[in-house]
Structure 1
Amino acid sequence: MSDQNPPTVDVLVIGGGNAALCAALMAREAGASVLLLEAAPRDCRGGNSGHTRNLRCMHDAPQDVLTGAYPEEEFWQDLLKVTGGNTDEQLARLAIRESSRCRGWMRRHGVHFQPSLSGTLQLSRTNAFFMGGGKALVNAYYRSAECLGVQIRYAAPVDRLEISDGRFRAAWVGDERITARACVLAAGGFESNREWLREAWGQNADGEWPADNFAIRGTRFNQGVLLKAMMNAGADFIGDPSQSHCVAVDARAPLYDGGICTRIDCVSLGIVVNKFGQRFYDEGEDFWPKRYAIWGRLVAQQPGQVGYSIIDAKAVGRFMPPVFPGAQAATLEELAGQLALEPQSFVRTVREYNAACRVGSFDHTVLDDCHTEGLAPAKTHWALPLDTPPYYGYPLKPGITFTYLGLKVDEAAAAHFAGRPSPNLFVAGEMMAGNILGQGYTAGVGMTIGTVFGRIAGARAAAAACKQGADHAAA
């Protein structure tokens, strides 16, 4: 007997960024009818993906836009290092291996890549950059989805889900109930939900709420509504709610959608101090693309959740210039005054750092031998004295890109309930990235996870919808 109330579509995709679009395209290519619900209006579509620039890719030999080789084991070791081992190796290696097979498919859907980059970013070997950035990628995917017949609805936030015994039944947009044979959740984390951030970070010893001082680098629409819905439905979760992709951004950055241009990239070329003029971490620990995402959390742990990146004239031209000009002064005392730092403490910090520098052969493209001795915290690479005016200072605050608390999945991208995979509910992108990113980050890996698991989730959802349709037809 046929279904008396047939589902609206085969596959429902909830979300509008990279992972959601990859899922929708894969499901449609597999022959499924697809409806994509994007919470944002059309002019804000794409979630955080519009602010991205590149994809970290495994490859065993030089390729079109990638130099050298970046084999699986090296990629894995890089990920292992930045996460401190807080990662699911099976899922991580799956993402790594599949990253080598994504670019051809991406090109077929209109994504273009630019020639490999050289310079201090150290990414020409590991990361493929999108021509036109993430916004161009998102637009290309939407064009392709429309051409393939994917139904797209904007300003359609899903506020609740119907799930029974681990099986997706329906999603609700306001008073509208939308059914589907299978569903992919790819609606991002909860970084735009200030109340949830306060809950996750709590109060510090000074009675401050650190999260109140965070900028949200991406979309304002990632409120974590579906994460809460899945919690209420008894789904299995993974990750620390206080962990996130959190970088140091200019303290003058907007509250939302500041994106990459608000990042301060001169940290490794100078020192970083807190509001008391004191250093608090090794600025030269590793190459910037591997360690830039620790600095937001480090600044968040400082009094007032503020820091200051300090350089001198020798650093100018060696980093991507920020969108806001820094404070500039002929003396350290004058710079302290402009940044509202206590002059004596700040000048003492700089002088102690200068005296501890052991300058060898400075080279910002390698882990060089310029380091400090007898200083805590040490600066292990690129340690040059701050002695050449003018001096520059950039105020910092934490900028969250996406949170790592997410849904536990398996290699089929299936959501889990009490340890059992759902037969028709799949997860991709930031909603499951915590399986691989328990902490830390390395440039481009978020897009790797979203692209790989978006493709897996879409293909699996189409297969699940086909099976359910066949089962109903046979009933």
Structure 2
Amino acid sequence: MPSDETSYDVLVIGGGNAALCAAISARREGARVLVLEASDAFWRGGNTRHTRNMRCAHDAATESLSGPYTEEEFFEDLMRVTKGRTDQDLARHMIRESKTMLTWIEEQGVRWQPSLGGTLSLGRTNSFFLGGGRAMLNALYRTAETLGVEIRYEAEVTALEIADGMFLSATVNGETLRAKALVAAAGGFESNIEWLKRYWGEAAENFLIRGTRNNKGTILRLLLDAGVQEVGDPTQCHAVAIDARAPKYDGGIITRLDCVVFGIVVNKHAQRFYDEGEDIWPKRYAIWGRLVAAQPDQIAYIIFDASSLKLFMPSLFPPISASTIEGLAEKLGLEPAALRETVDGFNAAVQPGTFDDKVLDDCRTDGLDPPKTHWARRIEEAPFYAYPVRPGITFTYLGTRVNEEAQILMADGRPSANMFAAGEIMAGNVLGEGYAAGIGMTIGGVFGRIAGREAARTARGNRAQGTIAAKEATDV
């Protein structure tokens, strides 16, 4: 039976990429580390289970990367996708630190697959995990356990004792756990539909949660209630258009649709509502969840023809098809005449160009509102296809403010004496809006490693202070 009160050097709350990087980093600094994972062992790892890659700056091609990706280019990409809504100093710090992450992660047992080609256009910027996110997680867990990190499953934290910015203890299944330092790496609140509804209203009922069902925001709420400074817009999130036939939770990567750029997207009234060719897909795919969320009934349909069928990675579910546009509309529950009018108007606006899905090509529309600025081709080759899509929420951006040491900042601006954060729970420092493929894993890996290291050093300092105090008391 566990004791009523157990003490550790570093307590890590969470079980995904950020948490494991923090735990390993702290343990390598000599700390006694406990990881608390709310799920059971099968579902461990939160959203990391569904990931595939990490975006890091690097100066030259490697076995897993086809060319260099400089710090400045990374920063420019981040500024573009966030529209400047980022803590620039913290973002540059993260990007600098990311240059050593690929090697560090590999040293923890993670393996990379050869440089990726194909339609995602990520072979130069992103390294892909051999075996995917679950294999990556398994490697980190093996390393953590080999190093002596203690891991508890089905260990949901229900209370945090925090006094004047200092973490004292956590309550888990009725047990009080004390630690000299805390790393919060427990994700956002995307699985808490009631919390989402505070900002989105009833529309949130139609959201699908493509990641874990366990990210209810409990730790975030406890920290904010204890006087931690918040960061980020609660309505901003990583939200992509996913197959509307996906399950409510844990649909993962196989329900995401990468075919927006190859066709048009219409709402329930068969009307287009945004430029499908605005930019290279990895820099724009994460805006489409929010765009669909703003449409009536939070539903939309990606329409394309036979010429585009094999240009993208398909969903788990097959596309809906028909030999005519009107027949496709009927299967989708759309007004046939309205969809025909939209398709005809789009086709008439398409200008001649050279199609190339790997660059910003010159295939565009003219005189159409909204325009399609790249990859615009007439939809005319039967059979015609469609995917129904809904907003797929991956993680939220409201979180805890941190500094370059991953220290949590209190509402008055003071750094906490012994609390650190990493991963989705602090992603809003870097992501004010928008997303670039793989950057969530960058945030988790970089700040996880920093948080673990700094938490261990803080704990070591606290141990030293405690030893001195005890000796002084004995001398007296």
TM bin, normalised by shorter chain, reads over 0.9
In the alignment, the residues of structure 2 paired with residue 173 and residue 72 of structure 1 have an alpha-carbon distance, to the nearest angstrom, of 41
| Corresponding residue SS for 2:339 | helix
In the alignment, the residues of structure 1 paired with residue 76 and residue 302 of structure 2 have an alpha-carbon distance, to the nearest angstrom, of 29
Q: Deviations over 1:314-340 (max 9, x none)?
A: 101110011101111110000000000
1:157 aligns with 2:156: yes
Specify the code of the residue in structure 1 equivalent to 2:433. Q
1:465 aligns with 2:464: no
Specify the code of the residue in structure 2 equivalent to 1:442. A
1:354 aligns with 2:347: yes
Could you tell me which residue of structure 2 aligns to residue 248 of structure 1?
Answer: 241
In the alignment, the residues of structure 1 paired with residue 352 and residue 281 of structure 2 have an alpha-carbon distance, to the nearest angstrom, of 20
Could you tell me which residue of structure 1 aligns to residue 166 of structure 2?
Answer: 167
Q: Deviations over 1:36-85 (max 9, x none)?
A: 00000111100100000000010112122111211011100100010011
**Greater CA deviation, 87-96 or 427-436?**
87-96
For the Cα contact (< 8 Å) 1:53–1:134, is it kept in 2?
yes
Could you tell me which residue of structure 1 aligns to residue 86 of structure 2?
Answer: 87
Could you tell me which residue of structure 2 aligns to residue 318 of structure 1?
Answer: 311
Residue identity over aligned pairs, in percent, reads 59
For the Cα contact (< 8 Å) 2:5–2:175, is it kept in 1?
no
Q: CA deviation at 1:298?
A: 0.1
Q: CA deviation at 1:389?
A: 0.4
Q: What pairs up with 1:33-432 in 2 under 5 angstroms?
A: 33-202=32-201, 209-417=202-410, 418-432=412-426
Q: CA deviation at 1:6?
A: 9.4
For the Cα contact (< 8 Å) 2:6–2:176, is it kept in 1?
no
Could you tell me which residue of structure 1 aligns to residue 473 of structure 2?
Answer: none
| Corresponding residue SS for 1:422 | strand
Specify the code of the residue in structure 2 equivalent to 1:463. R
Question: Kindly tell me: are residues 6 and 464 of structure 1, through their superposed partners in 2, closer, same or farther at Cα, counting changes over 3 Å?
Answer: farther
Q: CA deviation at 1:94?
A: 1.3
Specify the code of the residue in structure 2 equivalent to 1:413. A
| Corresponding residue SS for 1:324 | coil
In the alignment, the residues of structure 1 paired with residue 173 and residue 108 of structure 2 have an alpha-carbon distance, to the nearest angstrom, of 32
Specify the code of the residue in structure 2 equivalent to 1:382. W
Specify the code of the residue in structure 2 equivalent to 1:436. V
In the alignment, the residues of structure 2 paired with residue 200 and residue 438 of structure 1 have an alpha-carbon distance, to the nearest angstrom, of 16
In the alignment, the residues of structure 1 paired with residue 199 and residue 22 of structure 2 have an alpha-carbon distance, to the nearest angstrom, of 30
For the Cα contact (< 8 Å) 1:359–1:383, is it kept in 2?
no
Could you tell me which residue of structure 2 aligns to residue 18 of structure 1?
Answer: 17
In the alignment, the residues of structure 1 paired with residue 30 and residue 333 of structure 2 have an alpha-carbon distance, to the nearest angstrom, of 61
| Corresponding residue SS for 1:273 | strand
Specify the code of the residue in structure 1 equivalent to 2:408. A
Specify the code of the residue in structure 1 equivalent to 2:311. R
In the alignment, the residues of structure 2 paired with residue 222 and residue 159 of structure 1 have an alpha-carbon distance, to the nearest angstrom, of 13
TM-score, scaled relative to structure 1: 0.97
Could you tell me which residue of structure 1 aligns to residue 445 of structure 2?
Answer: 451
Could you tell me which residue of structure 1 aligns to residue 472 of structure 2?
Answer: none
In the alignment, the residues of structure 1 paired with residue 6 and residue 374 of structure 2 have an alpha-carbon distance, to the nearest angstrom, of 59
| Corresponding residue SS for 1:255 | coil
In the alignment, the residues of structure 1 paired with residue 260 and residue 186 of structure 2 have an alpha-carbon distance, to the nearest angstrom, of 32
Structure 1: any 5+ residue segments left out of the alignment? 203-208
For the Cα contact (< 8 Å) 2:65–2:124, is it kept in 1?
yes
Question: Kindly tell me: are residues 277 and 413 of structure 1, through their superposed partners in 2, closer, same or farther at Cα, counting changes over 3 Å?
Answer: same
Q: CA deviation at 1:120?
A: 1.6
Specify the code of the residue in structure 1 equivalent to 2:174. D
For the Cα contact (< 8 Å) 1:160–1:229, is it kept in 2?
yes
Q: CA deviation at 1:103?
A: 1.6
| Corresponding residue SS for 1:8 | strand
Q: CA RMSD for the aligned pairs?
A: 1.0
Q: CA deviation at 1:7?
A: 6.3
Could you tell me which residue of structure 2 aligns to residue 441 of structure 1?
Answer: 435
Specify the code of the residue in structure 2 equivalent to 1:20. A
Q: Deviations over 1:371-401 (max 9, x none)?
A: 0000000000000000100000100000000
Could you tell me which residue of structure 2 aligns to residue 205 of structure 1?
Answer: none
Q: Deviations over 1:129-187 (max 9, x none)?
A: 00000000111111111100000000000011000110010011132110000010000
Specify the code of the residue in structure 2 equivalent to 1:412. E
Specify the code of the residue in structure 2 equivalent to 1:192. S
Specify the code of the residue in structure 2 equivalent to 1:181. K
Q: Deviations over 1:248-296 (max 9, x none)?
A: 0000000000001001111000000000000000000001111000000
For the Cα contact (< 8 Å) 2:5–2:177, is it kept in 1?
no
For the Cα contact (< 8 Å) 1:37–1:153, is it kept in 2?
yes
| Corresponding residue SS for 1:12 | strand
For the Cα contact (< 8 Å) 2:169–2:177, is it kept in 1?
yes
For the Cα contact (< 8 Å) 1:7–1:181, is it kept in 2?
no
Specify the code of the residue in structure 2 equivalent to 1:104. T
Q: CA deviation at 1:359?
A: 2.2
For the Cα contact (< 8 Å) 2:402–2:429, is it kept in 1?
yes
| Corresponding residue SS for 2:157 | coil
In the alignment, the residues of structure 2 paired with residue 134 and residue 251 of structure 1 have an alpha-carbon distance, to the nearest angstrom, of 23
Report the number of matched residues.
Answer: 465
Moved over 4 A (4+): none
In the alignment, the residues of structure 2 paired with residue 266 and residue 103 of structure 1 have an alpha-carbon distance, to the nearest angstrom, of 29
In the alignment, the residues of structure 2 paired with residue 302 and residue 173 of structure 1 have an alpha-carbon distance, to the nearest angstrom, of 41
| Corresponding residue SS for 2:385 | strand
In the alignment, the residues of structure 1 paired with residue 347 and residue 222 of structure 2 have an alpha-carbon distance, to the nearest angstrom, of 53
Specify the code of the residue in structure 1 equivalent to 2:298. Q
Specify the code of the residue in structure 2 equivalent to 1:316. L
In the alignment, the residues of structure 2 paired with residue 82 and residue 64 of structure 1 have an alpha-carbon distance, to the nearest angstrom, of 27
| Corresponding residue SS for 1:358 | coil
Question: Kindly tell me: are residues 332 and 6 of structure 1, through their superposed partners in 2, closer, same or farther at Cα, counting changes over 3 Å?
Answer: closer
| Corresponding residue SS for 2:372 | coil
Could you tell me which residue of structure 2 aligns to residue 31 of structure 1?
Answer: 30
Structure 2: any 5+ residue segments left out of the alignment? 470-476
In the alignment, the residues of structure 1 paired with residue 93 and residue 38 of structure 2 have an alpha-carbon distance, to the nearest angstrom, of 29
